[in-house]
Amino acid sequence: MSSIDPVRLEAAGGFALPVAPSEAFPLFDPVRESEWADGWSIRAVHPAPFRLETDAVFEVPGPNGATEVWTVTACDPAACRVEYLAVSGHDLVRRVTVRCDPAPGGARVTVRYLVTAWTPEGAARAAVYNQAFIEGWRQPVLEALMRGRRAR
């Protein structure tokens, strides 16, 4: 594994949803994210069973076959805001902030990634975290919301 000068990328984006922030926000809980994110599945480390709270830790399979370790660094369900720190392999760290705010007609979901990589392989994996990646969440999240409404 070769080293490079650390690469720091920041990506921010968002999208509107036709539901209240309090209805949208639960889909960004790591457990419920599996309802809209292909291949997403967590293994609770602490607490087990998992619950969304500050300092909770979980693992997910990473895109490169390595296990990613995620920590909830801040969680405020009343404000519909959560922040995660994800460590992927030995060369990539992401801080991910998700918030759902009131907006005309529903909610505005805002996502911010702060990504640091320090190998060429980590830098290549980091490049996917951009505004288009974030905005690509809208359709699968919207479909999960609609499935949930039909199931009720």
Domain boundaries, the chain: 7-151
Q: In this predicted structure, what is the pLDDT of residue 1?
A: 60
Distance, C-alpha 116 to centroid of its chain? 16
> Which residues are bridge partners to 12 per DSSP?
112
Tokens of 19: 């539901």
pLDDT in tens, the chain (152 residues): 677 788 999 999 999 999 999 999 999 999 999 999 998 999 999 999 999 999 999 999 887 677 899 999 999 999 999 999 999 988 999 999 999 999 999 999 999 999 999 999 999 989 999 999 999 999 999 999 988 777 66
Summarised one tens digit per residue, pLDDT across range 20-35 is: 999 999 999 999 999 9
Q: In this predicted structure, what is the pLDDT of residue 25?
A: 98
What's the CATH fold of domain 7-151? Alpha-D-Glucose-1,6-Bisphosphate; Chain A, domain 4 (3.30.530)
Q: What is the pTM of this model?
A: 0.92
Between CA 94 and CA 42 the distance in angstroms is 17
Q: In this predicted structure, what is the pLDDT of residue 5?
A: 85
Segment 68-75 long-range contacts (CB within 8 Å, at least 24 positions apart): 69/45, 70/30, 70/42
Closest CA to 133 of 15, 31, 26: 15
Summarised one tens digit per residue, pLDDT across range 64-87 is: 677 899 999 999 999 999 999 999
